[in-house]
Amino acid sequence: MIERPDVISLAGGLPAAETFPAAELAAMVADILGSDPGALQYSTTEGFEPLREWIGARHGAGTERVLVTHGSQQALDVVARALVDPGDLVALADPGYVGAIQVFRLAAAQLMAIPSDADGMQVGALEQRLHAGARPKLVYVVANFNNPTGATLALERRAALGALADRYGFVVVEDDPYGDLRWEGVALPPLASFSDRVVTLGTVSKILCPGLRIGYAVAPPALASSLVLVKQALDLHTSTLGQRAVHRLLTTPGFLAAQLDRLRPLYRDRAAALADALRGGLGDRFRFQPPAGGMFVWGEFVEDIDTQRLLPAAVASGVAYVPGAAFAVAADHHRALRLSFVTTPPDQLREGVRRLAAAVCRHT
């Protein structure tokens, strides 16, 4: 397959680089290095105390429940290492986040695929499996603007999932990298509002920049100390300098609100441009739900078009995406694909869809 040099990539889940607060970070780091020698020293495994306090306050949790990690991906890995033994059952929505599927398979877990729709994981289907005798060790959920589907877990499903966790004794892991990227509708209560058996994962990668690799886990008290021990064995602690810089940024009066006010309309306009282009370019051949936040559009061809087989033709036409099969836990998603809109200006989004439509026409 020969790849065109001008390929428009709608594949990666990369935040828009023009939103990175590079100048502010440079000033913060220079100031920290000039005034705080401890910023270059080893630190505690749990994380920088003032940053943990800030995270805990955001989640209504004590500092002792907060662990700072190298991105939320490491937080997920730490939780899996602490909780999941080989052969344990782990439930997650299908299609699911590739990074989670990889973590749980690396832990040698058995994956229990739960179907999902426009309102997120079908918690009723999970309940049926539980009634039939399934006993997952944990249930993994991206409740806000799920990767890959963009769906948000409905309020009644959140409440039902919390009740099931309390009844059957499993841990819910809510991975929430996209919750702050809502530009439409009202934010729903976090899953920790409905059960004490919830671990919440978060990150600054989507609201600041991913290169800092600062994420976190907010865990129930009984689990928090185990997560610290696992983290200590993995890498001792997260970057001391990075944590201090992030804390300075996030606690600068007005900074976070201004940063989110910058991100949300930018991503809203790009999402709208992609949705309009898909309606115009593919029409009734392609079904999708316009996003109200997050970074992705998930869609499915009405015809029997295998998006894995279509991909070489699409790339040859100058556009890339991620085939739905990449996110499959157990179900067949061969007619689906995921598109990311956040790094691409509206004119390129429109051109990318034009190229995709041309590839579909040639393929079919």
Distances in Å between the Cα of 216 and the Cα atoms of 57, 95, 190, 281 are 13, 24, 16, 41
CATH of 22-250, one of 3.30.70.260, 3.30.420.590, 3.30.310.220, 3.40.640.10: 3.40.640.10
pLDDT in tens, the chain (364 residues): 444 559 999 998 899 999 999 999 999 999 999 999 899 999 999 999 999 999 999 999 999 999 999 999 999 999 999 999 999 999 999 999 999 999 999 999 999 999 999 999 999 999 999 999 999 999 999 999 999 999 999 999 999 999 999 999 999 999 999 999 999 999 999 999 999 999 999 999 999 999 999 999 999 999 999 999 999 999 999 999 999 999 999 999 999 999 999 999 999 999 999 999 999 999 999 999 999 999 999 999 999 999 999 999 999 999 999 999 999 999 999 999 999 999 999 999 999 999 999 999 988 7
The phi, psi pair for 292, rounded to 5°, reads -105, 5
Distances in Å between the Cα of 217 and the Cα atoms of 105, 165, 191, 254 are 20, 18, 14, 25
Contact predicate 297/275, CB 8 Å: yes
Tell the CATH superfamily of the 8-19+257-363 domain.
Aspartate Aminotransferase, domain 1 (3.90.1150.10)
Residues of CATH 3.40.640.10 domain(s) within the chain? 22-250
State the Cα–Cα distance between residues 299 and 284, nearest whole angstrom: 12
Cis peptide before 37 (omega within 30 of 0): no
